[in-house]
Structure 1
Amino acid sequence: MATNARNAIKKGVSIYLMVTSVVLVLMMIFGVIMLLNQGNVIKISAQTFYKVMTIHGTGMIGIASLGGSAILWYFLSKYIHLNPKILFANLILSLIGVVMILVAIFGFNFSDGWTFLYPLPSFSSKLNGLTGALLFLFGLLLLGVGYLVMYFYLAARLIKEYGGLGKSLGWDYIFRGKKGYGPPAAVVATTMVIIANSVGILAGATALVESIVNILNPNFAFDPMLAKHLTYAFGHIFANCTIYMAVIAVYEVLSEYTGRPWKSNKVFLIAWNFSTLFTLMIYTHHLLMDFAVPEWMLIIGQIFSYANGLPVMVITAYGALMIVFRSDMKWDFASSMFFLSMFGWVAGAVPAIIDATIVVNHVMHNTKWVPGHFHTYMGMGVIAMIFGFMYYFNKMEGTQKQKGIDKYAIFTYFVFFSGLTGSFLYAGKISAPRRWAEHLPQWTGSDQVGALCGVFIIIAAIIFTTRFFIGLRDVGKNTPTKSFKRVS
């Protein structure tokens, strides 16, 4: 890869990570504010709470996706030539969308939650004016356009390089008996994300456009149940794809550290192909409480939510154990975060699978059990991978060395994140509702424990972020890394 292109990619990735790290800390602060309010430690108005809830949910998923995109782009550039302008185009569109969303929430009091469920935006526009609702919806739409531009470009590059997305998913090895190993793990994972997330974003865009038209022309109406399907298909797929992008770092870095290549054998390829299909199907477990949904869709939601935990998660977690076993690998911040993130991913899937059981879902889905599972795999899975990659990036592209404070920060982060998610799951067990600004006295104890844990998580995250920004000063002083040498 030409030096100029490599430098542009490095610059783009560093900007992505700077934005990601700062916004992550800010979203964590918003999360603690909500817990403090629910725990009656502080008092904010209900409207302020729901505004904070809206930006916390929207912002956390959006910024996790931005960090995952940096990981995907950085490692994929090892295998195919990429145009850095596309990376910057996605960033610019995303930032414009984020500004629109922030203005909508804090400038025009939009507080309908990340789900923007029809017809809530229409009701909001009547209450607080058209501007806030339209800014929020158009902001999300612009974010989606940015990612579609990136995904369609990546799809075109993979098709040119491998002869089709089927081939970059390893179909030659699965169905046509081709011998050897399939495309690199980064290529397989990228292909899966392109297919799944493009479908999800298009589903969400459909609901957004219909809602915008409904606000501008109230005589235009559409099926609320269809709108909910489109919205949750988008939300569930988009959230899942954050970890499928970030996990590329686990494959690449653990392989590099141990000196053992993570080979795309047939089992690995089959697992990722199944996950591509299942990720598109299992959003229906969010609709198990909707009696109007056809029974066959609810069955799919339950059965395939069970099955989805097996293909990639088990293969990746088991593979991480095997590649590290007796490898004499030197542990540092990056390898520790990536290895521990496997625990977060697996642990987060367990309460999710429990919640996907219909009889449990009817009781637990609208409780804090759901954010309990979500924060486990997001905070100790996806975000841990992003923090690990931040260190790895500075180490490979600069001269950053591990310090004693890093070990304490890792310990603090995972111990207190376990406490936070445990408080959520316990709150779900005692039927504390999610998305409520006020809690009954018997629920506030778990909120207070969660807020205390959140404070320590923020401290750890600030240490991670500060160390990252300090390390950026030396980026470029290292010799060009093999991560940017194109592999044939």
Structure 2
Amino acid sequence: MRPITDTVNSSTRKSVVFPTLLGSVLILLMMVVGLIMLLNQGKLITISDGFFYKIMTLHGTGMIGAGALAGTAIMYYFTSQYIKLSKAIFVSNIVLSILGVVMVLIGIFVFDFAAAWTFLYPLPAISGGMWGAAGAVFYLGGMTVLGTGFLLFYLDTGRAIIKKYGNLGNALGWPIIFGKTMKEELPPAIVAGTMVTIVNTAALVSGASVLIMSIINIFNPSFTMDPLLSKNLIYAFGHIFANSIIYMGVIAVYEIFPKYTGRPWKVYGNFLIAWNASTLFTMIIYPHHLLMDFAVPKWMLILGQVLSYANGLPVLVVTAFGALQIIFRSGIKWDMPSTLFFMSMFGWVMGVVPAIIDATIAINHVMHNTKWVPGHFHMYMGIGAVAMIFGFMYYVLKVEGLKMSSYLDKLSFWVYLLFFAGLTFSFLYSGKLSAPRRWSQHFPEWVPADQLGAVAAIGIIFATSVFIIRFAVSAKQIGTQKDEKETKEKLYA
């Protein structure tokens, strides 16, 4: 098998272990929370409606936050080979993320906040007695702290990119698009990292503005917001930030497949045009979440639908076909990292299909508030973005020369893929049956699909546990072998 190495130093490799492991463990815990909800909807256990909505709030918030934390570790790991990032800022993001998570947990489980991740105004302040001001402030404050950590990371990444490439346009390849040459090397990782930096900075600023205004409203009810503006800001924040996880993960795809195949991932005109288009589209397609809001200007709804179609193609096409071109007749030897990353391409492609269907106005009016939406999103995230995170964990073990696969790992891969496909099918089928996506109690005709989803979730949790335990057991050794080699080289120099 072709030896796999990279130029990342031991310090950087060690620094990504904790956030990757923490993000993965949180993802596993959110899977368990999701299983509890499915068991309740499937009439296999009984929990109170109040508790259901609390863990539903935790599941949506925690899964995205955990995925983003692990995603920043991937982005930091690979882009640090080309630009000088601040380790202090990277660590600050981890610390603020932990603090934010603690605040969110206090808001939910101590003070009963249960308004879902959307926290639509004025719900945090007017709960009908379900929670008080303390719960809303802890949750919204925790989200603000979380967002601040991520914003610092992206601002530092933007600073480093501008310092090396002059401006963000150069890092998106504008000179190459217009037929000019660039002095600096422009790897795909930097192009993707620039896109994520731009869109997530915009998303986090939008989110912070509505979070802070909501907190002010709780303490001073005379301070009000336009509810439609508030909803636009919330969905702009949530949609962009959630989707960016797969864009951070795909940086690893661009870096790893060339190492396996010995073929470079070339940056060419169409590739750069696709990433530039996605940078623009990702920031303005969120109105497809508002297609049922009659008060939204019609031009925004049309724009949201048209660009939702368009956004699903550029980066996906150049990445999926690029991966196939690099792999085709390359003699690649499949192992856990390469297999997980290849599966993530499949999950990304498949997850986009029901998303585009849902973005059609006529279908959206019927399907958007059903479990069809969790179906496409779990396919996109679980078989796509989260698979990239697990692939990255195994890759780090591989470049360290540690044991990274066994029959149990391979079995877990197939269990993960097949059972996740089963979970997403159960959601999509529930959507066909018009099962609402935020109801604690389900009618009898919806229950069989919920039970199928619960069984699938158990298999997913088993496979995910194997992936995480494998990484956790070897985590202490990461970086030590390279350190020992460097020490010997210095002693015998």
Q: TM-score, normalised by structure 2?
A: 0.95
Given candidates 250, 261, 265, the residue that maps to 1:262 is 265
**Cα distance between partner residues in 1 of 2:13 and 2:330:** 30
Residues 212 and 87 from structure 1, CA distance in 2 versus in 1: closer, same or farther, beyond 3 angstroms? same
**Cα distance between partner residues in 1 of 2:217 and 2:128:** 11
For structure 1, which segment, 356-365 or 201-210, has the greater mean C-alpha deviation from structure 2 after superposition? 201-210
Matched, 1:231 2:234: yes
Q: Return the letter of the residue paired with 1:328.
A: G
Unaligned ranges ≥5, structure 2: 1-7, 485-493
**Cα distance between partner residues in 2 of 1:124 and 1:8:** 47
Matched residue, 1:319: 322
Matched residue, 1:123: 126
Task: List per-residue Cα deviations over 1:355-384 (Å, max 9, x = no partner).
Answer: 000000000000000000000000000000
Matched residue, 2:166: 163
Matched residue, 2:431: 428
Q: Would you say the 8 A contact 2:419–2:459 is kept in 1?
A: yes
Provide the secondary structure at the position in 1 that maps to 2:234.
Answer: helix
Identity %: 56
Q: Return the letter of the residue paired with 1:375.
A: H
Question: Within 5 Å, which residues of 2 pair with 1:8-87?
Answer: 8-87=11-90
Deviation at 1:10, TM superposition (A): 2.1
Task: List per-residue Cα deviations over 1:363-419 (Å, max 9, x = no partner).
Answer: 000000000000000000000000010010122135223211111000000000000
Given candidates 332, 338, 346, the residue that maps to 1:343 is 346
For structure 1, which segment, 470-479 or 107-116, has the greater mean C-alpha deviation from structure 2 after superposition? 470-479
Deviation at 1:189, TM superposition (A): 0.6
**Cα distance between partner residues in 2 of 1:255 and 1:391:** 16
Matched residue, 1:404: 407
Matched residue, 2:387: 384
Task: List per-residue Cα deviations over 1:444-477 (Å, max 9, x = no partner).
Answer: 0100000000000000000101111112232124
Residues 43 and 148 from structure 1, CA distance in 2 versus in 1: closer, same or farther, beyond 3 angstroms? same
Q: How many residues align?
A: 477
**Cα distance between partner residues in 2 of 1:269 and 1:180:** 17
Deviation at 1:123, TM superposition (A): 1.3
Matched residue, 2:116: 113
Provide the secondary structure at the position in 1 that maps to 2:127.
Answer: helix
Unaligned ranges ≥5, structure 1: 482-488
Residues 385 and 480 from structure 1, CA distance in 2 versus in 1: closer, same or farther, beyond 3 angstroms? farther
**Cα distance between partner residues in 2 of 1:262 and 1:45:** 52
For structure 1, which segment, 388-397 or 169-178, has the greater mean C-alpha deviation from structure 2 after superposition? 169-178
Matched residue, 1:366: 369
Matched residue, 2:286: 283
Q: CA RMSD in A?
A: 1.5
**Cα distance between partner residues in 2 of 1:216 and 1:197:** 29
Matched residue, 1:197: 200
Q: Would you say the 8 A contact 1:173–1:181 is kept in 2?
A: no
Deviation at 1:177, TM superposition (A): 3.0
Q: Would you say the 8 A contact 2:376–2:424 is kept in 1?
A: yes
Residues 81 and 364 from structure 1, CA distance in 2 versus in 1: closer, same or farther, beyond 3 angstroms? same
Provide the secondary structure at the position in 1 that maps to 2:285.
Answer: helix
**Cα distance between partner residues in 2 of 1:127 and 1:464:** 38
**Cα distance between partner residues in 2 of 1:181 and 1:367:** 48
**Cα distance between partner residues in 2 of 1:419 and 1:384:** 16
Deviation at 1:441, TM superposition (A): 0.3
**Cα distance between partner residues in 2 of 1:479 and 1:96:** 33
Matched residue, 1:89: 92
Deviation at 1:181, TM superposition (A): 9.8
Residues 302 and 114 from structure 1, CA distance in 2 versus in 1: closer, same or farther, beyond 3 angstroms? same
Deviation at 1:480, TM superposition (A): 7.1
Matched, 1:145 2:148: yes
Provide the secondary structure at the position in 2 that maps to 1:120.
Answer: coil
Q: Return the letter of the residue paired with 1:102.
A: L
Matched residue, 1:101: 104
**Cα distance between partner residues in 2 of 1:50 and 1:76:** 39
